[in-house]
Amino acid sequence: MNLIKWVTLACVGAFSFKPVQAQSFTLDQQIGYEGAAQIANTIGIYNDSNIAAYINVVGERLVKYLGEQPFDYHFYVLDMAEPNAFALPGGYVYVSRGILALANSEDELAGVISHEIMHVHKRHGIQQAKSSILPGLIQLPGAVVGTVINEELGQIINAPATLSSGLLLSKYSRSHETEADELGAELMAAAGYDPAALPRILSHLHEEVEAITGEEESFSYFDSHPFTPNRVSNLEKRIKSGKVKAPEEDKSFIQSSDYKNLLAQLPLDQNPFAGIFLGNEFVHPDLDFYMKMPAGWQRMNKPIALVAADTNGEAQMAIQAIPDTLSPAEYGRRAKKMLWENRSLKADQSQLVTLDGQPGYLLKYAESTEMGEVVAYAFWWQSPKKTIIRTIGIGMKSQDEVIWNTLQSIGTIPDSVEVSYTVLEIEEAQSGEQISDIVERRKDNVLSMSVLSAINGQPFDHVYDKGSLVKLGVTKKIHF
C-alpha cells in the first residue's frame, strides 16, 4: 500500500491568513537559513526517507491553505527523543522523533505542524528577536586553540556543540501562543483535518512530560507563557462554540493505523546509528568506531562532532568523521606543512601510528602560553569502513597523559560490546484488552504505564477492540 497519496490541492480562495506585514522579509529568511544550518549540525535530522516524505506532504498541504506566501516552507524531523516541535523564521518547521511517537493520527501531527506554521506566518519569532537575532550558542572554551593549531582545526573545537534552550524551548508570549493555537486550528480545519486533534495532542504532551519528569506543570499569573491545560480548554471552547468548524470530510493522506505502522521501529531514546554512549565508551555502529572517553568529562554527541571537555576547562577534544578522499598520512602531512608555512610551528611529534590494525597519523605540538605549557594533538585514523576519524585534543601539560590515552583508545567496536536501545513497536490488541493486559501478554515492554497511556492517547482503563493498534516500547540489541 502506498501510504502517501501525492495529490494536487486547490487553495480555498475565500479563506486567507494574512501575514504580519513588514518592509522586507529578508531578515526572516536570513535568520531561518543560518539557524537551519546550526540545527542540522548540532541536533541533527532523522534520516528516514518515508517519514521525511510524509512530513513534507502534510506540511505542504497546510501551506496551500495559507494563501499567497512570502516564504518557501521546509519541514524536517529532528533526531531528538524528547517530544518537541518548533519553527524558525523564514519557513523552517521541525518536529522531533518524540512528537511523532506521541501523535496517534495524521490529524494530531497536522495540528502540531499548523501551530508552528502560524508562528512563522505571523512572524512571532522575528518580533521576539528584535533584541537578540538568534540565541547564543553554547561553546566549549577554546581560546588557546589558535596559538597551537590552525584555524580550520580550531573551528572544530569551537564548533557549536548544542543550541541553547532559548531556541528549542522558546517561550512565546501568551498572545503569540494563543494566536498560533487558534489560527493553527483554523488552518488545519481548512485543509481538511479535525481541529479537535490539536487540543488532544497538547493534552497528551502535557501528560507525557509529567509522566517522564515526575513533576506537574506549574502555573503562575506572572508567567508570560500560557499554561497547557488553559490552552487546551481555550481551543475546546472555540471548537464547541462553532468558531472553528470541523471539515465535512476527512482529508488525511493515511489512516490512524497506517500512521502508527509508518513509525514502527522508530527509536524512542538515543539513536544508536548516530553514535551512542555506553558509560564512558562511545560506539558508532555505522562507522564501526569505538573510543573510551575520560571519566567525569562533559561530552556531547552532535552531527558536526563528538565534543568532550574536562570540567575544569583544562582540556578538550573534538572527534569528527571527515571525507576519506585522502589517507591518514596524507591528511597529517598536509596539516603539518600548512602549520609550518602559515604559523612557523614545528611539530614536536609526527609519525605513522597503527591502532587496532588500522592506519593512523599523529601530530603533536607543545607551546608555552600565558596560561602555561599547552599541548595539542591532531590524529587521523582510518576505520575498517574506510572512514577517516579525525581527533583534535588540546589541554594544559597536566592533561597530556589523559588526552594521549584517549587517543590511543580508538579502534573498531569490540565483539564484547552490545548496544541496547528502545524502539516503538505496534501490537494488535485482542478483544476486551486494556493496556495492562497487553503489557502482561507481551512482557517485553519497557515504558511505564503513564507514558504508554500518553503516547496511545487513552486512559489506563480503556478497553480496546480486537485488532486495535497499540504502541509499546521494546528493547532492541545490536551485537558486534
| DSSP track, 131-160 | S-SSPPEE----TTHHHHS-HHHHHHHTS-
Provide CB contacts within 8 A for 22, sequence distance 6+: 123, 126
Q: Determine the Cα–Cα distance for residues 74 and 69; give it in Å rounded to an integer.
A: 13
Q: Which amino acid is at 160?
A: P
Q: Which of 227, 262, 297 is at the close of a domain?
A: 262
Strand partners, 477: 420
Q: Which three cell numbers stand for residue 403?
A: 588526552
For 302, residues 6+ apart whose C-beta sits below 8 A from its C-beta are 41, 42, 43, 44, 161, 162
- CA distances for 82 relative to 58, 98, 99, 102, 289, angstroms: 21, 5, 7, 10, 26
Q: Is residue 370 part of a domain?
A: yes
The CATH number that applies at residue 324 is 3.40.1000.10
Kindly report the number of other CB atoms within 10 A of residue 11's CB atom: 15
> Does residue 439 lie in a domain region?
yes
In a domain, 149, yes or no: no
Distance CA 77, CA 47 (A): 8
Considering only CA atoms, which of 39, 480, 49 is closest in space to residue 287? 480
**Euclidean distance between CA atoms 290 and 282, whole angstroms:** 6
Q: Is residue 158 part of a domain?
A: no
Domain tally for the chain? 3
Are 236 and 299 within one domain? no
For every one of its 480 residues, what pLDDT tens digit does the chain have, with 9 covering 90 and above? 333 322 222 223 334 556 555 457 888 888 888 889 888 888 899 999 999 999 999 999 999 999 888 889 999 999 999 888 999 999 999 999 999 999 999 999 999 999 999 999 888 766 554 433 222 222 333 333 444 444 544 555 454 433 333 333 345 677 888 888 999 999 999 999 999 999 999 999 888 877 776 666 544 444 444 567 888 888 999 999 989 888 888 889 999 999 999 999 999 998 999 999 999 999 999 888 999 999 999 888 888 888 888 888 888 888 989 888 899 999 999 989 988 887 788 899 999 999 999 999 999 998 887 778 888 899 999 998 889 999 989 889 999 999 999 999 999 999 888 999 999 999 999 999 999 999 999 999 999 999 999 999 999 899 999 999 999 999 999 887
Are residues 128 and 44 located together in one domain of the fold?
yes
Rounded CA-CA distance 231/434 in Å is 29
What is the C-alpha separation between 48 and 84, in angstroms, rounded?
Answer: 18
In a domain, 15, yes or no: no
Residue at 141 is within a domain: no
Residue after which a domain boundary falls, among 377, 408, 439: 408
181 grid coordinates: 493555537
**Domain-located, residue 267:** no
From 408, 439, 461, the end of a domain falls on 408
Domain that holds residue 375: 272-408
State whether 51 and 191 are in the same domain.
yes
Look at residue 165 and tell me if it is in a domain. Answer: no
Q: Are residues 253 and 322 in the same domain?
A: no
